[in-house]
Amino acid sequence: MFEQLKEQPADKILALMQAYKEDPREDKIDLGVGVYKDAHGNTPIMRAIKAAEKQLWETEETKAYTGLAGDPVFGERMRDLVLGGTVDEATVSAVATPGGTGAVRQGFDMIRMANPDATIHVSDPTWPNHLSILKHMGLPVKPYRYFDSETGGVDFAGMITDIVQARPGDVILLHGCCHNPTGANLSVIEWKHVIEKINEVGAIPMIDLAYQGFGDGLDADAEPTRMVAQSCPETIIAASCSKNFGIYRERTGILMAVSQDPGKKKVTQGTLAYLNRQNFSFPPDHGARLVQMVLSDDDLREDWQSELESVRTGMLELRHQLADELRERSGSDRFGFLAQHRGMFSRIGCGPDKVEALREKHGIYMVGDSRMNIAGLNRTTVPKLAEAIVDVGI
Ligand code: PLP
Ligand code: TYF
């Protein structure tokens, strides 16, 4: 039987991690995988998470199963963090999932159950795992224009032209904030316009929210998701706790389905729990419990928010420093978009030959599509990167 299996393509981002590890150069710079790193290159456990973990160790009395949807309090706290009380709770179904990826996967599964003919419209480009999961599941996919490599911003006219081609019942997958891999995001006014078009064509928005708190702040980053959930008859939301709580390996995320018709909740909630049961039964609890504890305790929450805020502003400072260094060295404003982008990533917009030159000649590792993780930089490496970018002729 196993002889029937074929070799599967490797994840390019994860393969790059390995290549970086094997590079003996001491001054190499890792701008690959999307993991937050501090100025020393470490991915610390956040203070509030560590404190919650200690408290949990002291007080937890059982490791018996939770429920198929996870602990309901986790669901409530996450619903409030993401939706901020902007929609009636009677309209929100939610299940805990293994990470944001688990939420995305379960969301696609729900779509397939509800409407196997739905085409999923994805931004061009999008997170490669969206495409690989959709391909694996055999769901029809169609890209919509998104990134304008000339300006480093969003090709908004192209995006709208493509989105209105969707059929009723199709799904439009949107990054809630901090677009991965480009870093280019819609303005609030542009979001309003997208929502209008989605409703006009009768499509269903699905929002992947993996970086709430990494862009313009916790509420600002959730604002587009809230607008969508308030304005569309049905919304699917896949949110990750990996980055904003720094609990990557704990696999913590949530899938929410919002229907403006509260009569739908019983069946929708039941479907999400059913899908968890088919795929893994109970979702992981440890990370979800830590998140729930941090969000439920005023002191822990305040400390978490303040640490998250320093992470966010630290990345913004690096963006500004890099844009300034590049303005000086290139004598032009063509890299100004780096300061406009938000989140961990920016796509610099060069071809794979230049990405390779950065790696070979300068030991700078970015993903082949020229996506770089800003958090892989520090004040000292920013000028080195700027110099290398100009040196290889980007
Ligand atoms: N969606 C996007 C766009 C991402 O970049 C990520 C990666 O971090 C995820 C979802 C899910 O991450 P995780 O499964 O680690 O929570
Ligand atoms: O895009 C990234 O780098 C993050 C982390 O298969 C990641 O989202 C990368 C690859 C992968 C899962 C997560």
d(CA 345, CA 133): 21
d(CA 354, CA 349): 10
Ligand 2 atom 5 nearest Cα: 34
Q: What is the per-residue pLDDT across 350-362, written as a single tens digit (0 to 9) for each?
A: 999 999 999 999 9
The CA 297 to ligand 2 mean position distance, Å, reads: 30
d(CA 96, CA 98): 7
Q: What is the per-residue pLDDT across 65-79, written as a single tens digit (0 to 9) for each?
A: 999 999 999 999 999
- CATH among 3.90.1150.10, 1.20.210.10, 3.30.430.20, 1.10.10.60 for 2-45+301-391: 3.90.1150.10
Q: Is 162 in the pocket of ligand 1 (CB under 6 A)?
A: no
Give residue limits of the domains in the chain. Answer: 2-45+301-391, 65-296
Residue 241: left if φ>0, alpha if ψ -120 to 50, beta else—which one? alpha
Taking the whole predicted model, whether its pTM rises above 0.90 is answered as: yes
Q: Which atom of ligand 1 is nearest to 179's Cα?
A: 3
Ligand nearest to the CA of 98: 1
Q: What is the per-residue pLDDT across 291-311, written as a single tens digit (0 to 9) for each?
A: 999 999 999 999 999 999 999
The CA 328 to ligand 1 mean position distance, Å, reads: 34
Active site amino acids: 127, 208, 210, 243
From 13, 17, 127, the mutation candidate for ligand 1 (largest count of ligand atoms within 8 A of CB) is 127
Q: What is the per-residue pLDDT across 132-173, written as a single tens digit (0 to 9) for each?
A: 999 999 999 999 999 999 999 999 999 999 999 999 999 999
Q: Is 240 in the pocket of ligand 1 (CB under 6 A)?
A: yes
pLDDT of residue 10: 87
Percent of the chain with pLDDT over 70: 100
Ligand 1 atom 4 nearest Cα: 210
Mean pLDDT of the chain: 97
Q: Is 14 in the pocket of ligand 2 (CB under 6 A)?
A: yes
Q: Beta-carbon neighbour count of residue 75 at 10 Å?
A: 23
Q: Which atom of ligand 2 is nearest to 367's Cα?
A: 3
pLDDT of residue 289: 98
Fold classified for 65-296: Aspartate Aminotransferase; domain 2 (3.40.640)
**Spatial CB neighbours of 239, under 8 Å, sequence gap ≥ 6:** 78, 82, 100, 103, 176, 209, 210, 212, 253, 254, 256
The CA 33 to ligand 2 mean position distance, Å, reads: 6
How do beta strands 147-148 and 371-373 pair? unpaired
The CA 65 to ligand 2 mean position distance, Å, reads: 29
d(CA 123, CA 24): 37
The CA 14 to ligand 2 mean position distance, Å, reads: 7
In the predicted model, what is the mean pLDDT of residues 80-106?
A: 97
Q: Which atom of ligand 1 is nearest to 126's Cα?
A: 3
For residues 238 and 100, the answer to whether their CB atoms sit within 8 Å is: yes
> Over the chain, what HEC string results?
CHHHCCCCCCCHHHHHHHHHHHCCCCCCEECCCCCCCCCCCCCCCCHHHHHHHHHHHHHCCCCCCCCCCCCHHHHHHHHHHHHCCCCCHHHEEEEEECHHHHHHHHHHHHHHHHCCCCCEEEEECCCHHHHHHHHHHCCCEEEEECEECCCCEECHHHHHHHHCCCCCCCEEEEECCCCCCCCCCCCHHHHHHHHHHHHHHCCEEEEEECCCCCCCCHHHHHHHHHHHHHHCCEEEEEEECCCCCCCHHHCCEEEEEEECCHHHHHHHHHHHHHHHHHHCCCCCCHHHHHHHHHHHCHHHHHHHHHHHHHHHHHHHHHHHHHHHHHHHHHCCCCCCHHHHCCCCEEECCCCHHHHHHHHHHHCEECCCCCEEEHHHCCCCHHHHHHHHHHHCCC
Ligand 2 atom 8 nearest Cα: 34
Q: What is the per-residue pLDDT across 29-66, written as a single tens digit (0 to 9) for each?
A: 999 999 999 999 999 999 999 999 999 999 999 999 99
Ligand 2 atom 12 nearest Cα: 129
Q: Is 245 in the pocket of ligand 1 (CB under 6 A)?
A: no
